[in-house]
Amino acid sequence: EAQVTQNPRYLITVTGKKLTVTCSQNMNHEYMSWYRQDPGLGLRQIYYSMNVEVTDKGDVPEGYKVSRKEKRNFPLILESPSPNQTSLYFCASKQTGNTEAFFGQGTRLTVV
Amino acid sequence: DQQVKQNSPSLSVQEGRISILNCDYTNSMFDYFLWYKKYPAEGPTFLISISSIKDKNEDGRFTVFLNKSAKHLSLHIVPSQPGDSAVYFCAASAHNDMRFGAGTRLTVKP
């Protein structure tokens, strides 16, 4: 089954404690991206990757890092989480060009 | 700077009637437009799309209309069903750069 898998689904952490949210896709898509969803703001792009070892900033990259060492995986790293990073995070993947993106089920992160 | 705007946070319609969700964009470079549906505790799922070379695309009960001169698109759902109740996101894409609107929560009442 074609899917994008994120882990964990829910996470509560404390300010400053490094964390990683994993994302994996099994569709051999070149393009992967991370979004955060906040009330009234929709889905805002954090980082995206056009292919292995190619990553670029989206609209809200501050406080986040990503890596793309393999085509299927695109982890999101918060080196020192802060409460304003409390949000619902979605990973997505798609073929390059004008195609639809496939989304993971989301990770609800709370930073206290 | 929101390049894709959905100005109606919510919409309520009666079962069987038409639902019309609207979306405006500012960047004339966008050439591909999509609608996604999102249920609680799930990721957005693709619903329907339209290329900038077309002005209409239909898929069953769902039709998307594109007015390039007005930089406006809309999603029509006819007839609306209670199962259509969800948050709908409009998205616009150019060269793999995909931007989303804030979403419209549609409630279809039985």
How confident is the model over A11-43, as pLDDT tens digits? Answer: 999 999 999 999 999 999 999 999 999 988 889
More confident residue, B1 or A42: A42
Mean pLDDT, chain B, whole residue set? 95
Q: Which of A31, A103, A104 sits opposite B96 (nearest CB)?
A: A31
* Residue B95: half-sphere exposure toward Cβ, Cα within 13 Å: 3
What per-residue confidence (pLDDT) applies to A7? Answer: 97
Tens of pLDDT, residues B42-73 = 999 999 999 999 999 999 999 999 999 999 99
What per-residue confidence (pLDDT) applies to B96? Answer: 73
Give residue A66's region: left, alpha or beta (phi > 0; psi -120 to 50).
Answer: beta
For A104, name the nearest residue in chain B, comparing CA atoms only: B43
For B9, name the nearest residue in chain A, comparing CA atoms only: A40
Residue B9's nearest CA partner among A77, A24, A48, A39 is A39
Cβ-proximal residues to B33 (8 Å cutoff; 6+ apart), any chain = B23, B25, B49, B50, B51, B52, B64, B66, B73, B90, B91, B92, B93
Q: Which of A94, A100, A102, A105 would you mutate first to test chain B, the one with the most B CBs within 10 A?
A: A100
Tens of pLDDT, residues A65-108 = 999 999 999 999 999 999 999 999 999 999 988 889 999 999 99
Helices and strands of chain B, counted as H and E runs? 0, 11
Tell whether A19 lies on the interface with B, counting CB pairs under 8 A. Answer: no
Cβ-proximal residues to B69 (8 Å cutoff; 6+ apart), any chain = none
